[in-house]
Structure 1
């Protein structure tokens, strides 16, 4: 643990950001998996799950959790499966 007050604050804020980032990234992965499963099962909810997955990918890319090209590539693969 650092001794300097500002460094202590940075450790605390970094931990909060890490928790939030893990949550967003996990939700993104779950949305992608749900959409893929729905498409392979030819579920009627597949289009709305696909749009939710795309939204979560865009959100993660805008926050910098994944690269924008990685998000675009994943979206393209999802759309190709649809």
Structure 2
């Protein structure tokens, strides 16, 4: 445990940041899984709405630095392919 006041503050802010990042990452994963469930059930209308939400969550996580921007782009591309497979 740090003794210096500034180091103590850095530990506290790191813990807060980690908790916040974890909530964003969990929400992102949940949105993606929800979309995939709708695709498996072939629910086109709800899947399209879920795709928009999942894309938004992925973009938000990428902009905050929680995931890399290329990872977000790749996942969005894969989700779009799944959506197109049930709409076509």
In structure 1, runs of 5+ residues without a counterpart are: none
Q: CA RMSD in A?
A: 0.6
The structural deviation recorded for 1:45 is 0.8
Q: 1:4-30 CA deviation, whole Å, 9 max, x = no partner?
A: 000000000000000000000000000
Instruction: Tell me whether 1:77 sits opposite 2:82 in the alignment.
Output: no
The equivalent residue for 2:52 is: 51
> TM-score, normalised on structure 2?
0.91
Instruction: Tell me whether 1:67 sits opposite 2:77 in the alignment.
Output: no
The structural deviation recorded for 1:58 is 0.2
- In 1, Cα distance between equivalents of 2:31 and 2:23: 12
Q: 1:14-60 CA deviation, whole Å, 9 max, x = no partner?
A: 00000000000000000000001101211131111010000000000
The count of residues paired between Structure 1 and Structure 2 equals 82
